[in-house]
Amino acid sequence: MRAPVFNAFEEVLIVVPTLNEADHIETVITSLLEDAPARTRLVVADGGSTDATPLIVEQMHDPRIHFVHNPRRIQSAAINLAVATKGDGATHLLRADAHAQYPRGFLRILMEDMRSTNATAVTVAMTTLADKGFSAGVAAAQNSRLGTGAAAHRTGLGGRFIDHGHHALIRMDAFRAVGGYDACQSHNEDAEFDYRLTRNGGRIWLSGRTEIGYHPRQTPKALFLQYLRFGAGRAETMRKHGLMPRLRQLLPMLVAPAVALALIALGPALLTMSWVWGAMLFPAGLWIVLCLGYGVALAVAARRLAVLWAGPAAMLMHLAWSIGFQWRIAMRAASSKAVGATVTRL
């Protein structure tokens, strides 16, 4: 006889951090609660939305739905706040994204995978969804090695244990045991959490049975700012734990220095033919050619003109991530030097 999907003692706390998500929040909540166990609480932790998000949540009139204000605004603080105020008795935590599209049976599959693998956390693959304009290019870039560097939850190769993936279902006792998210990190808090979780003996399973869709940023400015924060967050995680970058992180790290080098060399290179200036221009030039060429290849494969935006979108993502990473490292180094100087004077 097949075991029930949800046991009587299991209670899931679903947390959805929000900030101006009126376009998506009702659909997200409805799809998440569709097949949830009876003892489920869904918390919308809002960082100060100025659109209709709070009103939409209030008008859903479902006793399982709770709304809390997140004064710190960032997602890591939102999850911790929801667990602290609404998590009593919960056995599992489902972190959800207001920008995501959740398929039927999502929570059921995650629970089944957690049971069958005895995993501490179950993550899922993520596919970016967009079909026109600049966002179609963003989606094509984010769904390819060009934009993700073969991150585990982006390759679609599920059914295995991994070091980090897009967060979904986590055992609540394990979440509490490592202290939850680091609320000082505005971005990359999930990777930082996964590092502490696995170091504490936790195992992370990447499901191969379900995935989520993700709605990307719609404008170049929004995309640039998003990846600027991603880069800064990754730098903070690596600095905090003394981690070395992987190849898929090392290459984007070098983009900002390469572009800076090219900008320095561009003027002199136009005035005089010298191999020195050419050598300084070469790394950035190669990066530009590779990105644009990869974007063309993606557009040809997809037979969609809008996918030509993939090259420029990937360049924005790489450059912003690299600037954010280098800036955070520089700021931390300057701060440490200032503290050291103060201690020396004392």
Model pLDDT for residues 57-82, shown as the tens digit of each residue: 999 989 999 999 999 999 999 999 99
pLDDT score for 309:
96
Q: Which residues are CB-neighbours of 51 under 8 A, at least 6 positions away? A: 20, 21, 22
Q: Please give the residue that has the higher pLDDT: either 104 or 16.
A: 16
The pLDDT value given to residue 274: 80
Question: In this predicted model, which residue has the larger pLDDT, 313 or 158?
Answer: 313
Sorted by where each begins, the domain ranges of the chain are 12-217, 241-341
- Which amino acid belongs to residue 268? P
The CA distance from 252 to 300, in Å, is 25
Question: What does the alpha-carbon distance between residue 45 and residue 86 come to, in Å, rounded to a whole number?
Answer: 11
Asked whether the CA dihedral 21, 23, 25, 28 is positive or negative, the reply is negative
> Is the entire prediction scored with pTM above 0.85?
yes
CA pair distance 143, 128, nearest whole angstrom: 6
Residue among 251, 230, 217 at smallest CA distance from 141 = 217
pLDDT at 333 (0 to 100): 81
pLDDT, one tens digit per residue, over 216-273 is: 999 999 999 999 999 999 999 999 999 888 877 888 899 999 999 999 998 887 777 7
Residue 171 CB: number of other CB atoms within 10 A? 18
Per residue in 155-174, pLDDT (tens digit) is 667 889 999 888 889 999 99
| Candidates 3.30.420.40, 3.90.550.10, 3.40.50.80, 3.90.1200.10; CATH matching 12-217 | 3.90.550.10
Rounded Cα gap, residues 323 and 243, in angstroms: 19
Share of the chain above pLDDT 90, in %: 72
**Residue 98: pLDDT band by 50, 70, 90 thresholds?**
very high
